[in-house]
């Protein structure tokens, strides 16, 4: 995909950038400071695609991303899965027992909680794993280490003090590719949608039953508060079927009869199977 511009959240060496490299190997990569800014860059046409974190196998869903799907009219057109191997990185020559502080993205900190508890140092949140590594170099923070990828350590010339410090060794993050154009990047075998249900007895049961009656497998169901409407919730659902399949067309039609609104986020090729 030459001449394609792809936005991602973070700095050079971020796990998001690794996802872009895997999914768009020849693309021009554009960093943004937040997931919200990635959505905005795609929406206004500054980039062709955005790659945004959706779910971590250890920490669960990235709620900010799901909320942004409702605010922006973008389409989910693909996904990729990045294996996360967190490293403790610091300036060359710094020893682990000299550390007074560890900094990283809150998700990375949560995923390494057991290791960090054993260090007995201050913990400071940063907006990005690679950004934390970059800051150590820029500010010459000799008593501070970052949790980041090995590639981030190489990019910024840092030493790796410890590898695979995450609490659970099999740690993956699923990233979704978003675009203004709904055309999928590969042959679709999965669909994602969001729908709302009113305060009517059995409405959620009937919506989910539309898939069960047609033997459609749901790989994810998540309830999220609906912004600006207290005590109202929306349901995010991943279905193991393409949207154009006859049984999916029927199911979506039935869901629309019981839901307050229904929106297909996208139909795309699954990236999960590569990690199984």
Q: What is the pLDDT of residues 198-224, one digit of tens each?
A: 888 899 999 999 999 999 999 999 999
Closest CA to 122 of 145, 102, 146: 102
pLDDT for 275 equals: 43
Quote the CA–CA distance of 142 and 161 in Å, as a whole number: 13
Asked if residues 33 and 11 have their Cβ atoms less than 8 Å apart, the reply is no
Confidence band for 229, pLDDT divided at 50, 70 and 90: confident
Quote the CA–CA distance of 228 and 7 in Å, as a whole number: 28
Dump strand ranges (E) for the chain.
5-9, 28-32, 49-56, 60-61, 75-83, 87-90, 101-104, 122-125, 144-148, 159-162, 172-179, 190-196, 218-225, 233-239, 261-268
Q: What is the mean pLDDT of residues 23-52?
A: 96
Q: Give 236's strand partners.
A: 194, 222
173 assigned to active site: yes
Q: Which strands, in side-by-side order, build the sheet including 233-239?
A: 218-225, 233-239, 190-196, 261-268
For residue 222 the two structure tokens come to: 């998540």
Quote the CA–CA distance of 212 and 65 in Å, as a whole number: 27
Q: Give 102's strand partners.
A: 123, 145
Asked if residues 124 and 190 have their Cβ atoms less than 8 Å apart, the reply is no
Question: CA-based Rg of the chain, rounded to a whole angstrom?
Answer: 20
pLDDT for 273 equals: 53
17 pLDDT above the threshold of 90: yes
Overall pTM > 0.75: yes
User: Which of the residue ranges 55-64, 119-128, 152-161, 235-244 would you say has the lowest mean pLDDT?
Assistant: 55-64
175 assigned to active site: yes
274 pLDDT above the threshold of 50: no
Asked if residues 251 and 207 have their Cβ atoms less than 8 Å apart, the reply is no
Coil vs helix vs strand at 36: helix
Going by the DSSP 8-state scheme, the letter that residue 81 receives in this structure is E
- Which domains are seen in the chain, by residue range? 5-83+171-179 (3.40.190.10), 87-162 (3.40.190.10), 190-275 (3.30.70.260)
Of 24, 39, 69, 175, the catalytic one is 175
Of 80, 173, 195, 211, the catalytic one is 173
């Amino acid at each position: 995909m030459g001449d394609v511009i792809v936005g991602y959240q973070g700095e050079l060496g971020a796990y998001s950038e690794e996802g872009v490299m895997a999914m768009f190997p020849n693309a021009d990569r554009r960093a943004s400071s937040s997931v919200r800014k990635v959505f905005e860059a795609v929406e206004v046409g500054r980039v062709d695609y955005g790659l945004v974190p959706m779910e971590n196998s250890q920490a669960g869903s990235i709620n900010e991303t799901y909320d942004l799907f409702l605010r922006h009219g973008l389409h989910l057109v693909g996904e990729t899965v990045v294996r996360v191997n967190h490293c403790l990185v610091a300036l060359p020559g710094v020893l682990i027992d000299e550390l007074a502080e560890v900094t990283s993205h809150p998700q990375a900190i949560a995923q390494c909680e057991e290791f960090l508890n054993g260090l007995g140092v201050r913990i400071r949140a940063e907006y990005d794993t690679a950004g934390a590594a970059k800051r150590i170099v820029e500010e010459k923070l000799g008593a501070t280490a970052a949790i980041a990828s090995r590639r981030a350590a190489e990019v910024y010339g840092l030493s790796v003090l410890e590898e695979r410090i995450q609490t659970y060794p099999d740690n993956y993050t699923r990233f979704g590719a978003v675009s203004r154009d709904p055309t999928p990047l590969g042959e679709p075998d999965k669909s994602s949608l969001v729908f709302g249900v009113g305060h009517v007895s059995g409405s959620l049961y009937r919506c989910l039953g539309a898939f069960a009656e047609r033997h459609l497998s749901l790989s994810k169901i998540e309830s999220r508060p609906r912004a600006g409407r207290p005590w109202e919730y929306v349901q995010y659902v991943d279905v193991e079927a393409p949207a154009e399949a006859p049984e999916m067309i029927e199911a979506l039609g039935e869901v629309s009869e019981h839901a307050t609104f229904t929106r297909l986020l996208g139909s795309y090729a699954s990236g999960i199977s590569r990690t199984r």
